[in-house]
Amino acid sequence: MKVDDIKTIGVVGAGTMGSGIAQVAASAGFKVVLRDISDEALERGMNIIKKSLSRMVKKEKITQNQADEIINRIKTTKDLSDLKDVDYVIEAVFEKMEIKKELFSELDKLTREEVILSTNTSSLSITEIASATERPDKVVGMHFFNPVPVLPLVEIVQGLTTSDETVELAYQLAKKMGKTPIKTKDQPGFIVNRILVPYMNEAAWAFMEGVGSAEEIDQAMKLGANMPIGPLALIDLVGVDVALDVLEVLYKEFGDPKFRPAPILRQMARAGHLGRKTGKGFFTYEDKT
């Protein structure tokens, strides 16, 4: 398959990442089938997309007409079998290996054999996800960054069994979606999260130890290290649960105590204080999208 043969992309998961990926794909002219398991999840996902597009209309980056066309290219569904005719799949569901393996096994049975099944996982093993399919050479990581419409990078992750052709196609597709791909090997956290998430974790430890308030820690990193947002606001943006999941993987896979998650993250996850998406994390938010 060539990149120009890809007309329709199936996106599985309409959360923060899945909706952003669907938006970027539709903006690049692809038809998108966006799947999640409930009407509420799909509605929330479409609201995130509409809000992001209307921001772009306001900034005169796109016209209202273009925004409408982008929305019209996205079809939502709760039925996975609606992905049976797509030309490429990008999965963006919860960071739980068992869920991903089950899903990839279903997608493997459902889609045409030449279709590449990619995952937006931020830290799980591509090689292990691929092992749940009969096409491990066609499973690849395509890791986008939050907010997807704004950040240019996509990490293209080659698992042990991923073919060079698959990597090349994912690379070309990311470019066609207007992104800048960088190839990386299947190591926990790939490039960005291996470096970025321990930084966020350290901020959570500092907060727990009373080094400063959440505001002070974040202001310090913005003013003293020129970060666009502080590390605690970044945890809220990414999701406390997601940051914790990534840390757990880094900690377990490397077996190195430097990745030990700050206990406050686990407490916050248990309390449902997941950051922006629930309206409360290290900071509070009126708008949950």
Give the catalytic positions in this structure. 122, 143, 155, 193
36 versus 236: smaller Cβ distance to ligand CAA: 236
Q: Which is nearer to ligand CAA, 11 or 110 (CB)?
A: 11
CB neighbourhood size of 2 (10 A):
7
Q: Which is nearer to ligand CAA, 81 or 180 (CB)?
A: 180
Q: Determine, following the binding rule CB under 6 A, whether residue 24 of this chain makes contact with ligand CAA.
A: no
Where in 112-131 is the site for ligand CAA (CB under 6 A)? 122
Strand-pair partners of 35: 12, 77
SS (H, E, C) 201-217: HHHHHHHHCCCCCHHHH
Of the candidates 7, 66, 58, 16, the residue with the CA atom closest to the CA atom of residue 36? 16
Stretch that binds ligand CAA, among 54-62, 66-74, 162-170, 217-225 (CB under 6 A): 54-62
| C-alpha to C-alpha distance for 232 and 46, rounded to whole angstroms | 27
Lateral strand order in the sheet of 139-144: 74-77, 31-35, 8-12, 88-91, 116-119, 139-144, 153-158, 180-185
Question: Which of positions 166-195 make contact with ligand CAA (CB under 6 A)?
Answer: 193
Is there binding between residue 234 and ligand CAA (CB under 6 A)?
Answer: yes
Task: Determine phi and psi for 104, rounding to 5 degrees.
Answer: -65, -35
Measured CA to CA in angstroms, residue 187 lies from 99, 128, 170 at distances of 20, 12, 18
Per-residue binding string, ligand CAA, 238-277, x by CB under 6 A, is x---x---x-------------------------------
In the shown chain, the binding pattern of residues 59 to 98 toward ligand CAA, with x for contact by CB under 6 A and - for none, equals x---------------------------------------
Q: How far is CA 38 from the centre of its chain?
A: 19
Cα-Cα-Cα-Cα dihedral sign, residues 243, 106, 98, 38 = positive
Count of residues near ligand CAA by CB under 6 A: 19
Task: Pick the piece of the chain touching ligand CAA (CB under 6 A) from 86-94, 103-111, 146-154, 256-264.
Answer: 146-154
Q: Which of 50, 94, 147, 191 binds ligand CAA (CB under 6 A)?
A: 147
22 scored as a contact of ligand CAA (CB under 6 A): no
User: 142, 102, 99: which is closest to 10 by C-alpha?
Assistant: 142
- From 50, 55, 176, 260, residue interacting with ligand CAA (rule: CB under 6 A): 55
- Does 2 sit near ligand CAA (CB under 6 A)? no
Residue (8 or 289) nearer to ligand CAA, CB: 289
Residue ranges in 148-167 that form contacts with ligand CAA under rule CB under 6 A: 149-151
Tell me if 228 contacts ligand CAA by CB under 6 A: yes
- The answer to whether 146 contacts ligand CAA (rule: CB under 6 A) is yes
Residue written as tokens 């970025």?
196
Give the residue carrying structure tokens 């896979």.
253
Compute the distance between CA of residue 42 and CA of residue 76 in angstroms, rounded to an integer: 7
Contacts with ligand CAA, residue ranges (CB under 6 A): 52, 55-56, 59, 122, 145-147, 149-151, 193, 196, 228-229, 234, 238, 242, 246
